[in-house]
Structure 1
Amino acid sequence: MIRVRVPATSANMGPGFDSLGIAFDLYNEYEISEVDTGLVFEGIPEEFCNTKNIIYEAMMKCFEKANYKAKGLKIKVIKQGVPISRGLGSSSSCIVAGLVAANCIAENKFSKDELFNIGVEMEGHPDNVAPAMFGDMVVAIIDNGRSLYNKVHIKPGISFIGLIPDFRLSTKEAREILPREISLKQGVYNVGRAALMVSCFSTGNYELLKYACDDMFHQNYRSKLINHYDEVYNKSYELGAVGCFLSGAGPTIMTMIKDDNKDFLIGIKKYLKNNNINWDVVELKVDNPGAVILKGEN
């Protein structure tokens, strides 16, 4: 039995569409084992208990590349800490868990970097898979079919607060609302701000984060799908947030505050309650190791 823990992730950070992601200390845990025959699921909604289950598909992908034939599988979710379809990487968590577990069953044929590439083949973009696999804040790209990444060291002095709505947003719907083309002006706008964001985290100059969080690729379009987005976003800045961005495809808004801001949490919770906005407010810390095997035996 192999027990795998995978962190929540926040991708598309501000202007870093499909390229910047970060891992947080909100976890899914899975127990996966090879059995004599069949396919058994536990702790998973009935609609996902079939061969189209994304954990199972990731395992089959890994087994195929490793030339390993499993007899049967038991897949159990023992902790669902990452909310589903909230822009916090629930699907990437499943993919990464499946790959890591399958690799362990297949006697570790692949390195973590190789598993990362397989995961991006499935996911289609690397900014959720990279932090889920490796932890921390990550810059990730695809070059000629190969996925590449580099970690960003975040200077102390900043805290992350996730504002998580009580409704789901389909990633497919959030993708379909985006324009198919952008202008040169929009490209330059985002390139500069993505570079500024990495610089802010690397140097600790958090006064500039507000400007670094702006983008012209996705947030303005996707925010229209999220009730109360503008009100919560603007109120966060009023309460002293140094930066806000849409997490993944949404609907979660990720806010950043300075560590000495003691009033933000009280203020935002009071605002949400007074306006009947049913969102969870979650304090988050950056996860460092990424996906880990907590215990396992082949």
Structure 2
Amino acid sequence: ALALALNIYSTVRFTVYDRPDVSQPIVTLKGAISTVSETNNQGNLIYKMLSGLCQSDPELLRRVRITVSSDIPLGCGLGSSGAAIAGAVWASYVLRGLVPTRRDVLTVGMRMEGYPENVAASLMGNMIVCGRSRDDNTIVSEQLDWPDKWRMIVVVPRYTLTTAEARKVLPKMVKFEDAVANIQRTALVVAAVAKSDESLMRSVLIDRLHEPYREQLVPELDALRRVLSTQPIIGCVLSGGGSAVLVIVNQRHRFEVLQEITTWAEVQPQPPAILDLNVDKEGMKEL
């Protein structure tokens, strides 16, 4: 699987008191995340994970208070849960006096998330290629250096999609030729990134396994492809399962493409948010 780390962040602070302080909420939400209705789910997810990982020391857990400040939009395929999981797993080690490795965090995070790529991108930064090892018990991951001149414009609709909703529209079986086509193109995407080959990247960003089915849930994908059909973009794809749409563009064309997207967005009944982003190449930091 492939994943890309973008420079939009969550900060999770864990404070350990000498004794339980019932006057302090267990989870406090700050920043843009605090204004969104799904934030309670985010806070609950972090606390639930920490509870499971620290169940051998319930006294420690009672003394911990969590503050989450995040600008990652929720429920739109931008990896907010992966970032939360990475932070919670890392903290569970540190709070118990252990020194975590990225492999430790990735393995534990994969068991919680079910698939490793979002956690891996949050941990390591850059573009990540990852999957299960031959024994199926550990995760193998490699980091690719994303081309510096390839920028990301992310269009975030005002509605959200749950993972269950995004998966519900997918067929239980796919055509053999569609599966082969996607495998081939995935390999070519890796080659295009490794070689910074815009022409190759532009020609292989065509999906046959999930976007044809999810377009009905995210009409902005087709609309943006039509609007940008004459623009010098590298690609226009769903971010994860949606609802966000990711437009890849060379830095030299960024302004004109951003203007075209902004003009389109302004006349929509519910104008989407537009994020002008880079790829984060460092990954998670302990502050």
**Per the shorter chain, which TM-score range?**
0.7 to 0.9
Structure 1 segments (4+ residues) deviating >4 Å: 44-52
The equivalent residue for 1:42 is 28
Quick one: distance in 2 between partners of 1:63 and 1:134?
24
In 1, the alpha carbon distance for the partners of 2:50 and 2:79 equals: 18
Aligned pairs, number: 273
TM-score (norm 2): 0.88
Match of 1:267 among 256, 260, 273: 260
Map of 2:276 onto structure 1: 283
Aligned counterpart, 1:55: 46
Identify the residue that residue 15 of structure 1 maps to in structure 2.
none
Aligned to 2:147: 155
Does the CA-based 8 Å contact 1:206-1:242 persist in structure 2? yes
Aligned to 1:106: 96
Tell me if structure 2 keeps the 8 A contact 1:237–1:243: no
Cα deviation for residue 239 of structure 1 reads 2.1
Q: Report how far residue 275 of structure 1 moved.
A: 4.0
Distance 2:123 2:260 in 1: 34
Gapped regions of structure 1 (runs ≥ 5) = 1-18
Contact 1:193 1:211 in 2 (8 A): no
Contact 1:84–1:168 (Cα < 8 Å) also in 2:
yes
Equivalent residue, structure 1, for 2:137 = 145
Q: Structure 1: how far apart are the matches of 2:275 and 2:100?
A: 35
Q: In structure 2, how many angstroms separate the alpha carbons of the residues matched to 1:50 and 1:250?
A: 18
Whole-angstrom distance in 1 between the partners of 2:261 and 2:252: 16
In 2, Cα distance between the equivalents of 1:165 and 1:101?
A: 32
Q: What letter matches 1:200 in structure 2? A: A
Q: Which moved more, 1:180-189 or 1:128-137?
A: 180-189
User: Which structure has the higher relative contact order (CA within 8 Å, separation 6+)?
Assistant: 1
1:53 Cα offset (Å): 1.4
**Cα pair distance change 1:235/1:189, threshold 3 Å:** same
Contact 1:156 1:204 in 2 (8 A): no
SS of the residue corresponding to residue 250 of structure 1 reads coil
TM-score scaled to structure 1, two decimals? 0.85
Which residue of structure 1 aligns with residue 186 of structure 2? 194
Residue type of the partner of 2:286? Answer: I
Q: Which runs of 5+ in 2 are unaligned?
A: none
Q: In structure 2, what is the Cα distance between the partners aligned to 1:219 and 1:175?
A: 11
Q: Matched residues in 1 for 2:201 and 2:243: separation?
A: 21
Give the letter for the 1:184 counterpart: F
CA RMSD, Structure 1 to Structure 2 (Å)? 2.2
